[in-house]
Structures are given as structure tokens and as C-alpha cells.
């Protein structure tokens, strides 16, 4: 009988702990952690935590495009279209401003945004700009895009460019692939 009573009390205590009132439980929490390689090949990190929508909104309007994205996602999830649209427009304006300075990371994020919102030509233009500046991820995106178009010349060119960039960054296995591709022509590309 004692064991049964103890187990019931233990279960009741667990339920109260899980479902009991908590001031922290209902407070929205937003945070991001991001890392990327900058234009000079150095790793960059950005981390930030927000405890309220107001804090997130203030960060967005102080030119933190990651905060704008979280704010837009928050309003979209909560079906507040007008606020979501305003936050998304602020985010895009900040992406464009930072990308104009030649920041790989932001240009790639902006290109991905355009790509995901059926603005393919804008996305391709940014991927090309980034690839020309030495971003292998953008070159690979272009290679994939052109392979879907069955364009052998551009698929080959951007794949080869990506391997060259990776080789120059010290990835030896890509140096071998790049050397092999230098011996080939775009006619060697096959599509599945």
C-alpha cells in the first residue's frame, strides 16, 4: 500500500511540474546561431537570443536581417499577414543592402529567397555574381539549375568553377576533380 501511494504521489508531482504555472513557459523565445565563410575565407559566427516579439521587432528595425526573418516567420505562423509582409520586406531590404556591399553570405541568402519565391532570374543573377566572386555554393546552385535545363555548357562551366574554388581553398580531392575536368569538354556532360 505504501509503495502504491508513493508511486501515485510521484506521478502527481511529475504532472504538476510539467503542467504547473510557469512564467517562462508562455514567453516566446527566439534565437539564431549562424556561421559562414566570409569573402576572405574566414569563418564568421552570429548568435543572438530574444525573449519577446517586441525585442525581435526592435532588432529587425535596427538592421538585423536574421531577426527580420524570424519575425516574418513568427507572424506568418500566427497568420498576421500584414505584419509578416512588413517584416519580410524589411529583411529583403537589408539583404539587398548587405549584398550590394559584396557580402557572399547575404547575397546567397537573398538568392535563395528569390529562388524559393519563383523569382528565378533574380536568383540566377545573384548566384552568378557570387560565383564570380568565389563562392562555390553559388556555382553549384548554378550548375544544378543549368543541369535541370539540360544546358551542357553552363552545367559544365559552373561545376568546374566550383571545383576550382574548392581546390584553391585547400580541398585536395576537389583539386583532382578540377584537373580531370580541365581535360574534358562540355560534351562529356550527361543528364539523367
Would residue 6 count as lying in a domain? no
What is the per-residue pLDDT for 34? 67
Distance CA 31, CA 97 (A): 23
What is the per-residue pLDDT for 11? 45
Distance CA 168, CA 176 (A): 12
The residue out of 83, 101, 119 marking a domain boundary is 101
Distance CA 186, CA 86 (A): 45
* Same domain (yes/no): 34, 112: no
Nearest CA to 117 out of 97, 95, 99 is that of 95
pLDDT tens profile 116-147? 888 999 999 999 988 988 889 899 999 999 99
Would residue 21 count as lying in a domain? no
* Same domain (yes/no): 186, 115: yes
pLDDT category of residue 38 using cuts at 50, 70 and 90: low
pLDDT tens profile 156-177? 999 999 999 999 988 899 999 9
Q: For the residues 109-118, what does the mean pLDDT come to?
A: 87
Nearest CA to 128 out of 111, 103, 116, 113 is that of 111
pTM value surpassing 0.75: no
What is the extent of the structural domain holding 55?
28-101
* Same domain (yes/no): 74, 51: yes
* Same domain (yes/no): 116, 81: no
What is the per-residue pLDDT for 167? 93
pLDDT tens profile 6-32? 444 444 444 333 433 444 444 456 776
Q: What's the total number of domains in the chain?
A: 2
Would residue 8 count as lying in a domain? no
Would residue 23 count as lying in a domain? no
Taking a C-beta distance cutoff of 8 angstroms, is the pair 50, 67 a contact? yes
DSSP string, the chain: -HHHHHHHHHHHHHHHHHHS--TTTTS--EEEEEEEE-TTS-EEEEEEEESSHHHHHHHHTTT-HHHHHHHHHHHHHTT-HHHHHHHHHHHHHHHHHHHHTT-HHHHHHHHHHHHHTT-HHHHHHHHHHHHHHT-HHHHHHHHHHHHHTT-HHHHHHHHHHHHHHHHHTT-HHHHHHHHHHHT--GGG----
Would residue 5 count as lying in a domain? no
The residue out of 52, 67, 101 marking a domain boundary is 101
* Same domain (yes/no): 155, 166: yes
Q: Report the CATH number that the domain containing residue 190 is assigned in CATH.
A: 1.25.40
What is the per-residue pLDDT for 110? 87
The residue out of 84, 101, 118 marking a domain boundary is 101
Taking a C-beta distance cutoff of 8 angstroms, is the pair 148, 140 a contact? no
Checking if the pLDDT of 178 tops 80, the result is yes
Distance CA 127, CA 192 (A): 24
Checking if the pLDDT of 88 tops 70, the result is yes
Amino acid at each position: 500500500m505504501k509503495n502504491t501511494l508513493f508511486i501515485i504521489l510521484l506521478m502527481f508531482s511529475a504532472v504538476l511540474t510539467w503542467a504547473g504555472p510557469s512564467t517562462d513557459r508562455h514567453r516566446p523565445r527566439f534565437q539564431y546561431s549562424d556561421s559562414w565563410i566570409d569573402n576572405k575565407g574566414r569563418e564568421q559566427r552570429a548568435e543572438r537570443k530574444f525573449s519577446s516579439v517586441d525585442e525581435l521587432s526592435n532588432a529587425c528595425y535596427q538592421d538585423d536581417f536574421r531577426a527580420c526573418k524570424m519575425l516574418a516567420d513568427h507572424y506568418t505562423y500566427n497568420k498576421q499577414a500584414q505584419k509578416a509582409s512588413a517584416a519580410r520586406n524589411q529583411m529583403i531590404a537589408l539583404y539587398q543592402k548587405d549584398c550590394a556591399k559584396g557580402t557572399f553570405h547575404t547575397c546567397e541568402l537573398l538568392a535563395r529567397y528569390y529562388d524559393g519565391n519563383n523569382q528565378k532570374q533574380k536568383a540566377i543573377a545573384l548566384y552568378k555574381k557570387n560565383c564570380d566572386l568565389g563562392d562555390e555554393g553559388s556555382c553549384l546552385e548554378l550548375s544544378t539549375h543549368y543541369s535541370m535545363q539540360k544546358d551542357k555548357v553552363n552545367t559544365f562551366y559552373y561545376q568546374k568553377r566550383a571545383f576550382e574554388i574548392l581546390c584553391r581553398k585547400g580541398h585536395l580531392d576537389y583539386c583532382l576533380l578540377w584537373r580531370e575536368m580541365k581535360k574534358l569538354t562540355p560534351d562529356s556532360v550527361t543528364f539523367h
